[in-house]
Chain A
């Protein structure tokens, strides 16, 4: 598994557009996303529900099902374009070089098989392991993800495990083949707060150990702060800001990011009410021509509703898509 050499990213999304065909017309879920993730690094993709984060992840996995489809753009992984890859090739990548952990551990395990069977299936499909060897390997994996007495838990059915344990099993399945890229789609959202930290620590430890890249999808800025170096903020199918964590927290440049940060609970302002962003995310069927955040934005300009801003570097490593910035004005509106 040669990790991408030098500066070339392991994963790169270029102008990715994903739409869903419905009776009401084409619903764009992802509208031109550019992302890059280097081997061994972590990128957090942050946004509200329905902002297109999960669809991005599914597009990388090649799991966007009809009526959805990748309309335009490309997904590059280790020098290969995934959207053009035959199903068979893609299947060989999935689970082996790119793995995914899902949001809902409660429903992500098949209720009729033991957890051992389910973890072993990955090993048997991709590494052609025999039953006995796979079982030993599974016990080792379960041990590695912090499941107590894995020798007996290997024969447990999913309903006999707690949510946190199930998520650990999901992680064991994901890392079974030592993937180069792990996509974690809100891995802690469905879990208790105390368990959330444990799961994030586990992912971080596994990353250090195995050197895999992690694409962390979340709506919780608080969770990501400790576990990633870079953050990309998504809103209504587009990236609105991309910067290193410290930059995002110290100098957020997009009004949406600022609003998100103000809505986080903070110990030093424990007695002030939390701020909410007024309004709701626009329906993907009725997106404004210009900036999708315009009707909720406190600093809205006359041109915002009509001209879509480009995501442009404002400083080194810090890009934002907002007309408040000169660099964005200089770049001009995105062509329709």
Chain B
């Protein structure tokens, strides 16, 4: 109880920042998030700015507008080849990686090793690996976060119900948890992938719908503990309803350890998606993810850049989330003081 005026959240944040490992994890996670959000600004085959004969264009900005349904392409740019256009333009400002992740170019630069033109080389179809990595970040993080969001929603709801009401509700739900634990998730996904066409949403759905048991059990235990706290009895004595007691009074006090397992959950989901894409049963063929780049290296072992860079990215991301989760665990423990 050192600093007055600073809530629990503030203390946790300070503690995270003060721990070097956790701080690094956090930095990398933030960096990855920035890359994911700005993927189109970092790697794109549309210039930021184009000046053709005095006519000024902002193709990248307009592309974003079109994607959001806010703008339309002008007639002359509708099917433009910006690279050809830029060669006759008065001025053209390109993104740092002037390629798109799915830009197939089988005429020339196939299996190009890393160079000034293609920083991280190209794959069998001449696609720029660097661009694929940048856009793959978006897919990996989306999968990680959406999966954990699904898991947390189901886990908190069912775990909370079991822990709060106890009795036969708890018994029934606990048996359900055990049943779910018995399902081998990976093989279920392979089965589903064999039946349905590959889709990023199907992967998120399956991972989300099968992986919530850990969170549910955690929440159940915490609810059992917090439920018997005096302030919960006090809230009930004031006429607060069950749902409000559960989600307003108990949950904030019970959610801390779950944040830790959510951080680990993001890492696990990203790893699983990579593994599935590596096996070629994950995301659809036309999407480029870290796992799909990695899988290309299977048949072309000479192209080391196809294995090293996505492998390193997966390693870095999973490590970052694990460091963050680890740091959260320490920071959320009020018994350990900030140094």
Residues of A within 8 A of B (CB): 61, 63, 66, 91-96, 99-100, 102, 104, 107-113, 121-122, 125-126, 157, 159-160, 170, 173-174
Residue in contact with A102 in the complex, picked from B1, B166, B233, CB distance below 8 Å: B233
Whether a CB of chain A sits under 8 angstroms from the CB of B74 is no
Chain A-chain B contacts (Cβ-Cβ < 8 Å), number: 71
Whether a CB of chain A sits under 8 angstroms from the CB of B77 is no
Whether a CB of chain A sits under 8 angstroms from the CB of B182 is no
* Mask: chain B, 159-197; 1 = CB below 8 Å from A; 0 = not: 000000011000000000000000000000000000000
Whether the pair B236, A125 counts as a contact (CB closer than 8 A) is no
Q: Which residue of B lies closest to A88 (CB)?
A: B241
Known: A66-B167, A157-B7, A159-B1. A108 touches B231 (CB 8 A): yes
Contacts of B53 in A (CB 8 A): none
* 15 A-B residue pairs with CB within 8 Å: A91-B240, A94-B238, A107-B229, A108-B231, A108-B233, A108-B234, A109-B231, A110-B253, A111-B8, A111-B253, A122-B238, A125-B241, A126-B239, A160-B4, A160-B5
Whether the pair A110, B233 counts as a contact (CB closer than 8 A) is no
Given A91-B239, A94-B236, A102-B233, 17 other A-B contacts at CB below 8 A?
A61-B237, A63-B236, A66-B167, A91-B240, A94-B238, A99-B237, A100-B237, A102-B234, A107-B229, A107-B230, A109-B234, A110-B253, A112-B8, A112-B252, A121-B240, A160-B4, A160-B5
Top 4 nearest A-B pairs by Cβ distance?
A: A95-B239, A95-B238, A94-B239, A107-B230
* Mask: chain B, 1-37; 1 = CB below 8 Å from A; 0 = not: 1001101100000000000000000000000000000
Whether a CB of chain A sits under 8 angstroms from the CB of B249 is yes
Most chain A C-beta atoms within 10 Å of own C-beta, residue among B5, B231, B235, B238: B238
Q: Is the interface of B mostly helix, strand, loop or mixed?
A: helix
Whether the pair A125, B8 counts as a contact (CB closer than 8 A) is no
Whether the pair B7, A110 counts as a contact (CB closer than 8 A) is no
Most chain B C-beta atoms within 10 Å of own C-beta, residue among A91, A93, A107, A112: A112
Known: A66-B167, A110-B249, A111-B253. A121 touches B238 (CB 8 A): yes
Contacts of B4 in A (CB 8 A): 160
- For the complex, what is the distance from the CA of A102 to the CA of B232, rounded to whole Å? 12
Q: Which residue of A lies closest to B167 (CB)?
A: A66
Whether the pair B239, A96 counts as a contact (CB closer than 8 A) is yes
Contacts of A170 in B (CB 8 A): 234
- For the complex, what is the distance from the CA of A288 to the CA of B60, rounded to whole Å? 88
Whether the pair A66, B166 counts as a contact (CB closer than 8 A) is yes
